[in-house]
Chain A
Amino acid sequence: MSAADYAKRLECGAFPPLLYSHRQRPRHHQQPPTAPVAVQERRESAALQTCVLVLFLLGLATPVFAVTSAVASTPRGTVVAHDGLIELFGKNRILWRADGLDNPAAIVTGERRVAVLDTLANEAVVIDLASGKAQRRRLPESPTAGVFLGDRLFILARDARLLVTENGTIPLAADPAFLRATNDRIYVYSRITGIVEELDGTRVTRRVRLAPFASDFEIDGRNGCLVDPRAGKIHTFALATMQPSDAIDVGAVPVDLAFTGGGTAITARTLAIADPSAKRVWLIEGVQSMGQAVARGFLRGLLGLGLYGGRASQFPTGVDRVLVRGKTWAAYDSSSRTLYRFTKSTSTVIAKELDPEAFTVTDEAIVWWQNGRLRSSK
């Protein structure tokens, strides 16, 4: 940007529109339980501090935090949005290429189509997976997420407080932050009010009020889970009744959640929860009905098993995103932009300096886009 452009954008001379208060804000989040720090960790920390100082002195400071690329897995291959392009990668070659967006923030995948969203510029490109034929759409303010219900595309325009369908819009509660779909129903979580709205694709059918300010909202076929980082809890509700159910205590600052597998006769569905404060992904039992809980407790008693909770994978840095598909588990640290593969007991660095949306998981591998190349790790 030229100096002249810069001056124009910053509205010289007029009264600045801003006011911020620099009060000491209350500590909202719990601190992680203190634990002895290994000597090796201390050494690594000191080395990192020195490295940051050197980088800062060189004018490089911390890595640039931006959204420049997005990756998603589809039935026909991996879609990558980058550098103003959208490409579908097959096993050995690029199957098609289309004009893309400046800030690809998310990719919505369906069986036959994908939609790439530019939240900043309020645009989407919807592409037919088979032919690569693309259609560009202007959208209401801040399209942050989308879902396909069958072949029908629904896009959440967060700052317009609207659900955009292919025939019109549906008004939503304040700050609709998350959008999910299952069983031919759409669920939208309003972060400011704590309300989850259920929609049938044309209107809001039911509502339930839960905790506000969640950092993630996920659903499986039967339950919805909200991650509450302040309280260190997972709030749950039953989709069938739209009634709140259990709240589960998890770690210090849980931020992101993924389901790691279906429940069995003796276990409820397992949740993987990223806790950057504790530098762990907690693995806990998810929601179960009272009947299930009694039955499983009875079975545990019979089989002599302990509780499933308490397991965790540890990381050298605090991960705040977790993705699970089949047996492929990945976690990501937004502050250091590091991608990890992890299991119940180990974690391995897969890539560094990676954008937050530039990776995905498939049934077989972790896939990411970096330095102009699509890479994978099985």
Chain B
Amino acid sequence: MKRALLLLVVATSAFAQSTRVASDFEIAQMEKQLATSRDFASQLSGRLNLGDVRMARNEPSLARDEYAKALATADRERLAARRASAMTRYAQATSYAALAQAKLGRESESFALLEESIRYTANDPETWNLYASAMTVLRRPLKAASAARNAVAIAQAAVTKSPSTRTRLDLAIYQYALAAALTDAHETAEAERVLVDVTESLRSQAFDELRRTVARDEAFEIYSSARGDAPAYVSLLNRAQLRLGTLYEQRGDAAAARTQFERVLRTRSDDVTALTALARLAPSDAERERRYAEAFDANPFSTSLVREYRRYVGTNKLAVPEATSTGSEVRRALVQLARGERRAAQQTLDALLAKHPASETLRTLRRETEVTATFAMPSATPTASELRRVLDALAQDSLTAEERSALDAATFTNLARFDDAQPGPNPGQTVLASGTIDGVPFRFPTPTAFAGTFDDAQPLTLTYRILAADDALLLEPIRVEASR
């Protein structure tokens, strides 16, 4: 019901402005949790989850704020626990302070705190799991793997002693952390084996009861910091399948990879990582387009998605997307950038930034549109990209005097499509005013009559000089001929 309600909200609001970003729901849930629950675990998991979601949306300054608040929360808890002589609480808070420090990129501080925490709770697999997670964040995969192995060893003993859903879920969580570390350490064969164990275990009968709870609660949210068994189960299955799919893809087993990614979409239809992977692995251009569109609607600011889509549009001629969702607008900006339409991309990105000012993805793309490349004189028959560069340079008035006089002296010839050919004042004349050259708009200073009867349905060979530019190139026509 929750999922249906969310879809209903999306469908209603889509008409108003734009599609919701998939992680909006998680953000709202975490903000609600922070507002209503004051206990340490709620505050901490809320801050960490918000930070992770902001990071996934490439909003690093907002993410950093959340991690700093998580650190302050953990530090307060450390001091309070120590004053109360509650050493387990102290060790737990110290582990979380270490994780927050890792997310803030402070390696030495994080490491010192982790070493402090394991002095008190080396028996607690969660302490080792946090150790592994912090080391993974800090790109120390061998340290992470060692810590994760300790967590798995302790949890495995707990399953042997008391096989229950809870102990099995704990073991699967720690195995997942181990697989993440092994992947980073390029020990992919072992990582794959561990992930197969995790996913098979999670789909086994041992978790039937938990699956019923998940179905009853209609739980679908994915958190890095899950509270309770059902959210942990949903998040873990999602992440483990994503990682396993990625490993299959890396070793060239596209079919197995697709199976894993499609499984992810069965429980979370807007998972950006799965959608991006399925776009990459799509057997047809139509499916690829559709998957990319869905991925951008799920998270328009994902840097990995943006990077992949740019590679894709760089090698394929795509139409500018028409839809008005945030995802479509970002795709439009990327297509415009790929086509060299910097001014159009600027306008698209400015509109997006007004709605999403914290997005570092949008800011980075916007900065790219401002980069002034060294001006290169167009060839005698310029391409669309060359003409767009001239258009941008003239519109921004960035040419040197020498470049300007060289451009003034040059003549160019292209096939042009005219907008509206009118009969001239004298018989056998045609008046032409504006059109496009390979999609680049141009116009003449005034409508000009040319000798000859021309049909604007056919492209004409135009010889011209370039005078100026605003929204379009301003051309001085020298000659118009029917194309041969």
Binding site for B on A (CB under 8 A): 1, 3, 5-7, 9-10, 12-25, 27-29, 31-32, 45, 48, 52, 56, 61-62, 64-68, 102-103, 119-120, 141-142, 158-161, 174-175, 177, 191-192, 212-215, 229-230, 252-253, 255, 276-279, 317-318, 320, 334-336, 356
Binary per-residue interface labels of chain B (121-161) against chain A in the complex, 1 for a CB within 8 Å, 0 otherwise: 11110100110010011111011011101100110000000
Binary per-residue interface labels of chain B (422-462) against chain A in the complex, 1 for a CB within 8 Å, 0 otherwise: 00000000000000000000000000000000000000000
> With A and B bound together, what is the CA distance between A44 and B323 in angstroms?
64
> With A and B bound together, what is the CA distance between A67 and B116 in angstroms?
11
Contact at B170–A21, with CB atoms within 8 Å?
Answer: yes
Q: Which chain B positions have C-beta within 8 A of A52?
A: 76, 79
What is the chain B residue whose CB lies nearest that of A32? B85
**Residue B328 lies at the interface, judged by CB distance under 8 Å to chain A:** no
Contact at B150–A22, with CB atoms within 8 Å?
Answer: no
Q: Which chain B positions have C-beta within 8 A of A215?
A: 119-120, 122
Q: Which chain A positions have C-beta within 8 A of B232?
A: 19, 21
Contact at B86–A31, with CB atoms within 8 Å?
Answer: yes
| Sample of 18 further A-B pairs with CB below 8 A, known A21-B173, A255-B119 | A13-B299, A13-B305, A16-B55, A17-B133, A19-B224, A21-B232, A62-B78, A66-B109, A67-B111, A102-B108, A120-B108, A120-B111, A192-B153, A212-B122, A253-B120, A318-B85, A334-B116, A356-B116
Contact at B123–A212, with CB atoms within 8 Å?
Answer: yes
**Residue B186 lies at the interface, judged by CB distance under 8 Å to chain A:** no
- Distance to closest chain B CB from A12 (angstroms): 5
Q: Which chain B positions have C-beta within 8 A of A3?
A: 60-61, 360
Interface 9-mer from B87-95, B252-260, B348-356 = B87-95
Q: Which chain B positions have C-beta within 8 A of A27?
A: 86, 88
Contact at B123–A12, with CB atoms within 8 Å?
Answer: no
- Distance to closest chain A CB from B149 (angstroms): 7
Q: Which chain B positions have C-beta within 8 A of A32?
A: 85
Contact at A10–B55, with CB atoms within 8 Å?
Answer: yes
- Distance to closest chain A CB from B147 (angstroms): 8
**A25-B124 contact in complex given A20-B225, A255-B119, C-beta closer than 8 Å:** yes
Contact at B85–A192, with CB atoms within 8 Å?
Answer: no
Contact of B239 among A9, A19, A335 (CB under 8 A): A19
Q: Which chain B positions have C-beta within 8 A of A18?
A: 52, 133, 136-137, 177, 180, 224-225
**Residue B411 lies at the interface, judged by CB distance under 8 Å to chain A:** no
- Distance to closest chain A CB from B248 (angstroms): 15
**A16-B123 contact in complex given A22-B225, A62-B75, A62-B79, C-beta closer than 8 Å:** no
25 A-B residue contacts at CB 8 Å?
A9-B138, A9-B139, A10-B105, A15-B56, A17-B184, A18-B177, A18-B225, A20-B226, A21-B232, A22-B45, A22-B226, A24-B41, A62-B75, A65-B97, A66-B112, A103-B111, A141-B146, A142-B143, A174-B153, A215-B122, A253-B85, A317-B82, A318-B82, A334-B116, A335-B79
> With A and B bound together, what is the CA distance between A159 and B304 in angstroms?
32
Contact at A65–B112, with CB atoms within 8 Å?
Answer: yes
**Residue B292 lies at the interface, judged by CB distance under 8 Å to chain A:** no
> With A and B bound together, what is the CA distance between A13 and B58 in angstroms?
7
> With A and B bound together, what is the CA distance between A161 and B142 in angstroms?
11
- Distance to closest chain B CB from A74 (angstroms): 24
Contact of B121 among A12, A13, A28, A214 (CB under 8 A): A28
- Distance to closest chain A CB from B57 (angstroms): 8
> With A and B bound together, what is the CA distance between A17 and B123 in angstroms?
23
Contact at B56–A19, with CB atoms within 8 Å?
Answer: no
> With A and B bound together, what is the CA distance between A102 and B111 in angstroms?
13
> With A and B bound together, what is the CA distance between A255 and B133 in angstroms?
25
Best-surrounded residue of A25, A161, A174 (most CB of chain B within 10 A): A25
**A16-B113 contact in complex given A28-B123, A213-B122, A318-B82, C-beta closer than 8 Å:** no
> With A and B bound together, what is the CA distance between A253 and B91 in angstroms?
12
Q: Which chain B positions have C-beta within 8 A of A277?
A: 85-87
**A6-B122 contact in complex given A17-B136, A141-B146, A335-B79, C-beta closer than 8 Å:** no
Query: Closest 8 CB pairs between A and B?
Result: A159-B146, A13-B303, A13-B304, A17-B180, A213-B123, A13-B302, A62-B75, A335-B82
Q: Which chain A positions have C-beta within 8 A of B83?
A: 45, 48
Q: Which chain B positions have C-beta within 8 A of A177?
A: 122
- Distance to closest chain A CB from B144 (angstroms): 9
Number of A-B contacts (CB under 8 A): 221
> With A and B bound together, what is the CA distance between A48 and B82 in angstroms?
12
Contact of A230 among B111, B123, B236 (CB under 8 A): B123
Q: Which chain A positions have C-beta within 8 A of B130?
A: 20
**A276-B304 contact in complex given A10-B103, A20-B226, C-beta closer than 8 Å:** no
> With A and B bound together, what is the CA distance between A336 and B107 in angstroms?
20
Contact at A14–B88, with CB atoms within 8 Å?
Answer: no
**A22-B146 contact in complex given A7-B360, A64-B109, A278-B85, C-beta closer than 8 Å:** no
> With A and B bound together, what is the CA distance between A214 and B273 in angstroms?
42
**Residue B342 lies at the interface, judged by CB distance under 8 Å to chain A:** no
**Residue B333 lies at the interface, judged by CB distance under 8 Å to chain A:** no
Best-surrounded residue of A24, A334, A336 (most CB of chain B within 10 A): A334
Contact at B124–A28, with CB atoms within 8 Å?
Answer: yes
Q: Which chain A positions have C-beta within 8 A of B87?
A: 29, 229, 253, 276-277
Q: Which chain B positions have C-beta within 8 A of A48?
A: 83
> With A and B bound together, what is the CA distance between A279 and B86 in angstroms?
12
**Residue B44 lies at the interface, judged by CB distance under 8 Å to chain A:** yes
Contact of B177 among A15, A19, A66, A317 (CB under 8 A): A19
Best-surrounded residue of B232, B236, B242 (most CB of chain A within 10 A): B232
- Distance to closest chain B CB from A198 (angstroms): 22
Q: Which chain A positions have C-beta within 8 A of B55?
A: 10, 12, 16
Contact at B226–A21, with CB atoms within 8 Å?
Answer: yes
> With A and B bound together, what is the CA distance between A120 and B111 in angstroms?
7
- Distance to closest chain A CB from B45 (angstroms): 5
**Residue B290 lies at the interface, judged by CB distance under 8 Å to chain A:** no
Q: Which chain B positions have C-beta within 8 A of A66?
A: 108-109, 112
**Residue B336 lies at the interface, judged by CB distance under 8 Å to chain A:** no
Contact of A142 among B109, B123, B146 (CB under 8 A): B146
> With A and B bound together, what is the CA distance between A96 and B41 in angstroms?
50
- Distance to closest chain A CB from B48 (angstroms): 8
Chain B residues 28 to 86 lying within 8 A of chain A, measured CB to CB, are 41, 44-45, 48, 52, 55-56, 58, 60-61, 63-64, 71-72, 75-76, 78-79, 82-83, 85-86
